[in-house]
Protein backbone atom coordinates (compact mmCIF):
# COMPACT_ATOMS: atom_id res chain seq x y z
CA UNK A 1 0.00 0.00 0.00
CA UNK A 2 1.61 3.30 -0.98
CA UNK A 3 2.06 6.15 1.47
CA UNK A 4 -0.57 8.35 -0.11
CA UNK A 5 -3.15 5.54 0.13
CA UNK A 6 -2.33 5.03 3.83
CA UNK A 7 -2.83 8.75 4.47
CA UNK A 8 -6.07 8.80 2.47
CA UNK A 9 -7.39 5.94 4.61
CA UNK A 10 -6.30 7.71 7.79
CA UNK A 11 -8.16 10.83 6.65
CA UNK A 12 -11.33 8.83 5.97
CA UNK A 13 -11.23 7.01 9.31
CA UNK A 14 -10.30 9.96 11.54
CA UNK A 15 -12.78 12.26 9.79
CA UNK A 16 -15.56 9.79 10.63
CA UNK A 17 -14.79 9.90 14.34
CA UNK A 18 -13.38 13.43 14.87
CA UNK A 19 -16.70 14.76 16.20
CA UNK A 20 -16.85 11.92 18.72
CA UNK A 21 -13.23 12.51 19.78
CA UNK A 22 -14.30 16.00 20.75
CA UNK A 23 -17.57 14.84 22.34
CA UNK A 24 -15.96 12.03 24.34
CA UNK A 25 -12.76 13.93 25.19
CA UNK A 26 -13.41 13.55 28.92
CA UNK A 27 -13.34 9.75 28.55
CA UNK A 28 -9.69 9.72 27.51
CA UNK A 29 -7.93 13.02 28.31
CA UNK A 30 -8.19 12.82 32.12
CA UNK A 31 -8.01 9.01 32.52
CA UNK A 32 -4.87 8.85 30.37
CA UNK A 33 -3.28 11.87 32.07
CA UNK A 34 -0.30 9.80 33.38
CA UNK A 35 0.79 9.48 29.73
CA UNK A 36 0.55 13.23 29.09
CA UNK A 37 2.26 14.05 32.39
CA UNK A 38 5.18 11.74 31.57
CA UNK A 39 5.56 13.28 28.12
CA UNK A 40 5.47 16.85 29.40
CA UNK A 41 7.87 16.08 32.26
CA UNK A 42 10.39 14.65 29.78
CA UNK A 43 9.84 17.58 27.40
CA UNK A 44 10.73 19.87 30.34
CA UNK A 45 8.66 22.81 29.04
CA UNK A 46 9.44 26.27 30.38
CA UNK A 47 7.37 29.47 30.40
CA UNK A 48 7.77 31.38 27.15
CA UNK A 49 8.78 28.38 25.02
CA UNK A 50 7.47 27.50 21.55
CA UNK A 51 6.09 23.96 21.20
CA UNK A 52 5.00 21.95 18.17
CA UNK A 53 2.45 19.14 18.69
CA UNK A 54 2.35 16.72 15.75
CA UNK A 55 -0.81 14.61 15.24
CA UNK A 56 -2.56 16.86 17.75
CA UNK A 57 -6.03 15.34 17.35
CA UNK A 58 -8.48 17.50 19.28
CA UNK A 59 -5.67 19.23 21.18
CA UNK A 60 -3.98 16.57 23.28
CA UNK A 61 -1.39 17.37 24.63
CA UNK A 62 -1.29 20.79 22.91
CA UNK A 63 -3.64 22.38 25.44
CA UNK A 64 -1.68 21.09 28.44
CA UNK A 65 1.54 22.24 26.80
CA UNK A 66 -0.01 25.69 26.30
CA UNK A 67 -0.73 25.91 30.04
CA UNK A 68 2.89 25.06 30.84
CA UNK A 69 4.51 27.57 28.47
CA UNK A 70 2.08 30.29 29.59
CA UNK A 71 0.94 33.47 27.92
CA UNK A 72 4.43 34.32 26.67
CA UNK A 73 4.79 30.90 25.05
CA UNK A 74 3.07 29.41 22.04
CA UNK A 75 1.91 25.97 20.86
CA UNK A 76 1.28 24.94 17.27
CA UNK A 77 -0.80 21.77 16.81
CA UNK A 78 -0.60 20.02 13.43
CA UNK A 79 -2.72 17.17 12.11
CA UNK A 80 -3.47 15.52 8.79
CA UNK A 81 -7.21 15.72 9.35
CA UNK A 82 -9.21 18.92 8.97
CA UNK A 83 -12.05 17.70 11.22
CA UNK A 84 -9.59 16.99 14.05
CA UNK A 85 -8.04 20.45 13.68
CA UNK A 86 -11.53 22.01 13.71
CA UNK A 87 -12.26 20.07 16.91
CA UNK A 88 -9.00 21.25 18.51
CA UNK A 89 -9.81 24.88 17.66
CA UNK A 90 -13.28 24.50 19.16
CA UNK A 91 -11.96 22.90 22.37
CA UNK A 92 -9.32 25.65 22.74
CA UNK A 93 -11.91 28.38 22.17
CA UNK A 94 -14.30 26.84 24.74
CA UNK A 95 -11.48 26.64 27.26
CA UNK A 96 -10.37 30.22 26.50
CA UNK A 97 -6.84 29.08 25.60
CA UNK A 98 -5.30 31.77 23.41
CA UNK A 99 -1.65 30.79 23.01
CA UNK A 100 -2.37 27.86 20.67
CA UNK A 101 -2.90 27.58 16.95
CA UNK A 102 -3.99 24.53 14.98
CA UNK A 103 -3.30 23.80 11.31
CA UNK A 104 -3.61 20.91 8.89
CA UNK A 105 -0.57 19.48 7.12
CA UNK A 106 -0.54 17.61 3.78
CA UNK A 107 1.67 14.85 5.20
CA UNK A 108 3.90 14.12 8.18
CA UNK A 109 7.07 15.33 6.40
CA UNK A 110 5.68 18.71 5.42
CA UNK A 111 5.13 20.68 8.62
CA UNK A 112 5.06 24.12 6.97
CA UNK A 113 7.19 25.77 9.65
CA UNK A 114 10.57 27.53 9.41
CA UNK A 115 13.62 25.52 10.47
CA UNK A 116 14.96 25.75 14.02
CA UNK A 117 12.05 27.72 15.47
CA UNK A 118 10.64 25.42 18.22
CA UNK A 119 12.04 24.70 21.69
CA UNK A 120 10.20 21.40 22.04
CA UNK A 121 7.89 19.04 20.15
CA UNK A 122 5.42 16.33 21.13
CA UNK A 123 3.68 13.53 19.27
CA UNK A 124 1.18 11.55 21.34
CA UNK A 125 -0.21 8.35 19.78
CA UNK A 126 0.52 9.68 16.30
CA UNK A 127 3.67 8.15 14.78
CA UNK A 128 2.08 4.70 14.52
CA UNK A 129 -0.42 6.01 11.97
CA UNK A 130 2.19 7.64 9.70
CA UNK A 131 3.49 5.88 6.61
CA UNK A 132 6.79 7.83 6.60
CA UNK A 133 7.84 7.79 10.24
CA UNK A 134 11.49 8.51 9.45
CA UNK A 135 10.41 11.50 7.35
CA UNK A 136 8.28 12.78 10.23
CA UNK A 137 11.19 12.47 12.68
CA UNK A 138 13.52 14.38 10.32
CA UNK A 139 10.90 17.11 9.82
CA UNK A 140 10.49 17.52 13.59
CA UNK A 141 14.29 17.62 14.06
CA UNK A 142 14.56 20.40 11.46
CA UNK A 143 11.77 22.39 13.14
CA UNK A 144 13.57 22.30 16.53
CA UNK A 145 16.29 24.75 17.49
CA UNK A 146 19.62 23.15 18.45
CA UNK A 147 19.12 21.62 21.89
CA UNK A 148 15.33 21.40 21.38
CA UNK A 149 13.53 18.32 22.79
CA UNK A 150 11.14 15.90 21.08
CA UNK A 151 8.99 13.46 23.03
CA UNK A 152 6.88 10.80 21.32
CA UNK A 153 4.49 8.22 22.73
CA UNK A 154 3.12 5.05 21.16
CA UNK A 155 1.29 2.01 22.53
CA UNK A 156 3.37 -1.08 23.35
CA UNK A 157 2.56 -4.71 22.68
CA UNK A 158 -0.88 -5.51 21.27
CA UNK A 159 -1.18 -8.40 23.77
CA UNK A 160 -0.92 -5.96 26.69
CA UNK A 161 -3.23 -3.34 25.24
CA UNK A 162 -6.59 -4.07 26.90
CA UNK A 163 -8.77 -1.77 24.74
CA UNK A 164 -7.32 -3.39 21.61
CA UNK A 165 -7.71 -6.96 22.91
CA UNK A 166 -11.20 -6.51 24.35
CA UNK A 167 -12.71 -4.71 21.36
CA UNK A 168 -11.05 -6.89 18.70
CA UNK A 169 -12.24 -9.94 20.64
CA UNK A 170 -15.82 -8.67 20.85
CA UNK A 171 -16.15 -7.71 17.18
CA UNK A 172 -14.32 -10.75 15.78
CA UNK A 173 -16.70 -13.15 17.56
CA UNK A 174 -19.44 -11.83 15.24
CA UNK A 175 -17.84 -10.57 12.01
CA UNK A 176 -14.37 -10.58 10.41
CA UNK A 177 -12.25 -7.61 11.53
CA UNK A 178 -11.65 -4.84 8.97
CA UNK A 179 -8.99 -6.11 6.54
CA UNK A 180 -5.60 -4.37 6.28
CA UNK A 181 -3.14 -4.53 3.39
CA UNK A 182 -0.24 -6.86 4.38
CA UNK A 183 2.32 -4.05 3.96
CA UNK A 184 0.28 -1.49 5.99
CA UNK A 185 1.22 -1.51 9.69
CA UNK A 186 -0.47 1.82 10.49
CA UNK A 187 -2.85 1.55 13.42
CA UNK A 188 -3.10 1.84 17.21
CA UNK A 189 -0.37 -0.75 17.87
CA UNK A 190 1.52 -0.21 14.60
CA UNK A 191 4.70 0.99 16.31
CA UNK A 192 4.76 -1.15 19.42
CA UNK A 193 8.46 -1.96 19.69
CA UNK A 194 10.57 0.27 21.95
CA UNK A 195 13.65 -0.78 19.96
CA UNK A 196 12.04 0.44 16.75
CA UNK A 197 10.93 3.74 18.30
CA UNK A 198 14.41 4.36 19.76
CA UNK A 199 15.95 3.48 16.39
CA UNK A 200 13.77 6.12 14.68
CA UNK A 201 15.04 8.78 17.10
CA UNK A 202 18.66 7.73 16.61
CA UNK A 203 18.46 7.53 12.81
CA UNK A 204 16.93 11.01 12.62
CA UNK A 205 19.88 12.42 14.61
CA UNK A 206 18.36 12.90 18.08
CA UNK A 207 20.75 12.46 21.01
CA UNK A 208 20.52 11.97 24.81
CA UNK A 209 17.62 9.54 24.41
CA UNK A 210 15.52 8.74 27.47
CA UNK A 211 12.81 6.08 27.52
CA UNK A 212 9.95 5.21 29.84
CA UNK A 213 7.73 2.14 29.55
CA UNK A 214 4.73 1.77 31.84
CA UNK A 215 1.14 0.61 32.15
CA UNK A 216 -1.49 3.38 31.99
CA UNK A 217 -5.26 3.73 31.59
CA UNK A 218 -6.21 4.48 27.98
CA UNK A 219 -9.83 5.50 28.55
CA UNK A 220 -12.54 5.32 31.19
CA UNK A 221 -16.30 4.87 30.99
CA UNK A 222 -18.83 4.75 33.81
CA UNK A 223 -20.20 1.31 32.90
CA UNK A 224 -19.91 -1.44 30.25
CA UNK A 225 -22.62 0.00 27.95
CA UNK A 226 -20.96 3.43 27.97
CA UNK A 227 -17.58 1.82 27.27
CA UNK A 228 -18.98 0.16 24.16
CA UNK A 229 -20.66 3.39 23.04
CA UNK A 230 -17.32 5.21 23.47
CA UNK A 231 -15.53 2.60 21.38
CA UNK A 232 -18.20 2.36 18.65
CA UNK A 233 -18.22 6.16 18.20
CA UNK A 234 -14.46 6.90 18.44
CA UNK A 235 -12.83 3.92 16.67
CA UNK A 236 -12.66 5.12 13.05
CA UNK A 237 -11.90 1.80 11.32
CA UNK A 238 -14.88 0.12 13.02
CA UNK A 239 -17.53 2.75 12.32
CA UNK A 240 -18.32 1.78 8.67
CA UNK A 241 -18.18 -1.91 9.60
CA UNK A 242 -20.59 -1.57 12.53
CA UNK A 243 -22.95 0.65 10.54
CA UNK A 244 -23.04 -1.87 7.68
CA UNK A 245 -24.26 -4.74 9.89
CA UNK A 246 -27.87 -5.86 10.20
CA UNK A 247 -29.59 -4.77 13.41
CA UNK A 248 -29.61 -8.26 15.04
CA UNK A 249 -25.81 -8.56 14.59
CA UNK A 250 -25.27 -5.08 16.00
CA UNK A 251 -27.46 -5.98 18.95
CA UNK A 252 -25.54 -9.23 19.51
CA UNK A 253 -22.23 -7.32 19.46
CA UNK A 254 -23.61 -4.77 21.89
CA UNK A 255 -24.73 -7.51 24.31
CA UNK A 256 -21.36 -9.28 23.97
CA UNK A 257 -19.58 -5.97 24.68
CA UNK A 258 -21.62 -5.33 27.82
CA UNK A 259 -20.86 -8.88 29.04
CA UNK A 260 -17.16 -8.67 28.13
CA UNK A 261 -16.49 -5.24 29.64
CA UNK A 262 -18.60 -6.20 32.67
CA UNK A 263 -16.57 -9.37 33.24
CA UNK A 264 -13.27 -7.47 32.88
CA UNK A 265 -14.40 -4.70 35.27
CA UNK A 266 -16.92 -6.27 37.66
CA UNK A 267 -16.47 -3.70 40.44
CA UNK A 268 -16.87 -0.32 38.85
CA UNK A 269 -15.93 1.90 35.93
CA UNK A 270 -14.42 0.38 32.81
CA UNK A 271 -10.80 1.56 32.76
CA UNK A 272 -8.72 -0.54 30.38
CA UNK A 273 -4.96 -0.08 30.48
CA UNK A 274 -2.21 -0.52 27.93
CA UNK A 275 1.55 -0.61 27.82
CA UNK A 276 2.88 2.79 26.89
CA UNK A 277 6.22 3.65 25.28
CA UNK A 278 7.60 7.17 25.68
CA UNK A 279 10.89 8.31 24.13
CA UNK A 280 12.47 11.74 24.44
CA UNK A 281 15.49 13.00 22.49
CA UNK A 282 17.31 16.26 21.89
CA UNK A 283 18.46 17.94 18.70
CA UNK A 284 22.26 18.20 19.00
CA UNK A 285 23.63 21.68 19.83
C1 LIG B 1 -4.85 8.42 18.25
S2 LIG B 1 -5.07 10.04 17.59
C3 LIG B 1 -4.08 10.94 18.74
C4 LIG B 1 -4.54 12.35 18.90
C5 LIG B 1 -3.91 13.11 20.08
N6 LIG B 1 -2.49 13.32 19.92
C7 LIG B 1 -4.22 12.42 21.39
O8 LIG B 1 -3.32 11.79 21.97
O9 LIG B 1 -5.37 12.48 21.85
C10 LIG B 1 -4.08 10.00 16.14
C11 LIG B 1 -4.03 11.30 15.37
O12 LIG B 1 -3.06 11.16 14.32
C13 LIG B 1 -3.52 11.87 13.20
N14 LIG B 1 -2.77 11.38 12.02
C15 LIG B 1 -2.92 10.21 11.37
N16 LIG B 1 -2.04 10.13 10.36
C17 LIG B 1 -1.31 11.27 10.38
C18 LIG B 1 -0.24 11.78 9.58
N19 LIG B 1 0.27 11.07 8.57
N20 LIG B 1 0.26 13.00 9.87
C21 LIG B 1 -0.24 13.73 10.90
N22 LIG B 1 -1.26 13.30 11.69
C23 LIG B 1 -1.77 12.09 11.43
C24 LIG B 1 -4.99 11.58 13.17
O25 LIG B 1 -5.71 12.48 12.39
C26 LIG B 1 -5.34 11.66 14.66
O27 LIG B 1 -5.73 12.97 15.02
183 φ/ψ angles, rounded to the nearest 5 degrees? -95, 15
Q: Is the CB of 152 under 6 A from ligand 1?
A: no
* Cα 64 versus chain centre, distance: 15
Give domain status of residue 178, yes or no. no
Give the nearest ligand 1 atom to 14 CA.
Answer: 25
Q: What is the mean pLDDT of residues 78-100?
A: 98
| Residue 239: inside a domain | no
Residues 16-29 pLDDT 10s: 999 999 999 999 99
Evaluate whether residue 258 is within a structural domain.
no
Which protein residue has the closest C-alpha to ligand 1 atom 19?
130
Report the SS3 class of residue 73: coil
Binding site membership of 7 for ligand 1 (Cβ less than 6 Å): yes
Distance in angstroms (rounded) separating the CA atoms of residues 116 and 145: 4
Q: Which one, of 194, 191, 234, 189, lies nearest residue 17 by Cα?
A: 234
Q: Where are the beta strands (DSSP E) in 26-72?
A: 50-54
Q: Given its phi and psi angles, is residue 242 left (phi above 0), alpha (psi -120 to 50 degrees) or beta? A: alpha
Q: How far is the CA of 131 from the centre of ligand 1 (A)?
A: 12
**For residue 3, how far is its CA from the centre of ligand 1 (angstroms)?**
15
Residue 197's domain comprises 3-158+186-221+273-282
- Whether residue 83 is contained in a domain is answered as yes
Answer whether residue 259 is part of any domain.
Answer: no
- Using one digit for the tens of pLDDT, what is the confidence trace for 103-138? 999 999 999 999 999 999 999 999 999 999 999 999
Separation of alpha carbons 247 and 222, rounded Å = 25
User: Residue 109: helix, strand or coil by DSSP?
Assistant: coil
| Structural domain contains residue 197 | yes
Is the pLDDT at 6 greater than 90? The verdict is: yes
User: Can you tell me whether residue 74 is helix, strand or coil?
Assistant: strand
Does residue 45 contact residue 74 with C-beta atoms inside 8 Å? no
Count up the domains in the chain and report the number: 1
Q: Is the pLDDT of residue 145 over 90?
A: yes
CATH code of residue 195 = 3.40.50.150
- Local structure of 220: helix, strand or coil: coil
From 58, 126, 132, 188, give the residue whose CB has the most ligand 1 atoms within 8 Å, as the site to mutate. Answer: 126
- Whether the pLDDT of residue 96 is over 90: the answer is yes
Structure confidence at residue 182 as a pLDDT band (50, 70, 90): confident
In a domain, 248, yes or no: no
- Is residue 178's pLDDT more than 90? no
48 located within any domain: yes
Mean pLDDT of 154-161: 92
Amino acid sequence: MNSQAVRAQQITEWTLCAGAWREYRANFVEPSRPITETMLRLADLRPGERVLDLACGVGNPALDAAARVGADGHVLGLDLVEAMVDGARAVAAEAGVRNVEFRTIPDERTLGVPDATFDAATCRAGLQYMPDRAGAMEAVLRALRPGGRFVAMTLGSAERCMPFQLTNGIVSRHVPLPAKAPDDDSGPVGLSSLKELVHLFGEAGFVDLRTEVFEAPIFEAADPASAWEFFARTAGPFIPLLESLPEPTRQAIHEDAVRTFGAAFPDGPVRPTGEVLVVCGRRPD
